[in-house]
């Protein structure tokens, strides 16, 4: 994927919106399965991703709706879940802007909203309660000594 710097080094400029049309030719893209093609030029994909990045940063509703859609939630469901948890992580209770949507990898059911640290911790322990209890016992034993 080309970065903005790559585009500048190639001497390309940002086109106006009416110039931002997908290319008519179908081209193979590097890094993809041979034979799989896309209808967009690399430049058009870059611009679309760039617009999404800006929109995600500036519009919280867009960002949250996009995040919720991945897990089968509507924006209203996501907001209700935030309110129910008081905009805080379900484990450590830290209030943060970006909460991860925690879900069961077997059933796909959403369990709640977690901060990045707590979500990563569950992932590192593969959502295994036995390993989490062992880690808790280890920490409690170390605190006694």
pLDDT of residue 8: 62
Bridge partner list, 100: 114
32 burial (CB, 10 Å; 0-12 / 13-18 / 19+) is: exposed
**Owner of token pair 């390309």:** 12
Q: Express each pLDDT in 128-139 by its tens digit.
A: 999 999 999 999
Residue limits of CATH 3.40.1800.10 in the chain: 59-145
Q: How far apart are CA 101 and CA 111, in angstroms?
A: 8
Backbone phi and psi for residue 112, each to the nearest 5 degrees, phi listed first: 165, -170
**Per residue in 3-24, pLDDT tens?**
656 656 666 665 555 555 555 5
The pLDDT assigned to 94 comes to: 95
Q: Indicate whether this model's pTM tops 0.95.
A: no
Task: Give the residue, 10 or 116, on which the prediction is more confident.
Answer: 116
Residue 57: partners with Cβ closer than 8 Å, 6 or more residues away: 63
- Residue 127 CB contacts under 8 Å (≥ 6 apart), including other chains: 104, 105
d(CA 32, CA 38): 10
CATH topology of domain 59-145: 3.40.1800
For residue 110, what are the β-bridge partners?
103
pLDDT in tens, 32-58: 565 555 567 888 888 888 989 999 889
């Amino acid at each position: 994927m080309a970065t903005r710097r790559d585009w500048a080094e190639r001497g390309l400029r940002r086109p106006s919106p009416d110039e931002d049309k997908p290319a008519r030719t179908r081209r193979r893209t590097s890094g993809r399965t041979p034979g799989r093609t896309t209808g967009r030029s690399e430049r058009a994909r870059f611009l679309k991703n760039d617009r999404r990045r800006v929109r995600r940063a500036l519009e919280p509703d867009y960002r949250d709706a996009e995040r919720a859609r991945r897990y089968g939630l509507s924006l209203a469901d996501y907001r209700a879940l935030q309110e129910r948890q008081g905009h805080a992580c379900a484990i450590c209770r830290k209030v943060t802007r970006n909460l991860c949507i925690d879900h069961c990898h077997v059933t796909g059911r959403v369990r709640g909203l977690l901060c990045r640290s707590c979500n990563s911790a569950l992932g590192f322990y593969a959502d295994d309660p036995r390993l989490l209890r062992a880690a808790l016992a280890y920490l409690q034993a170390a605190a006694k000594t």
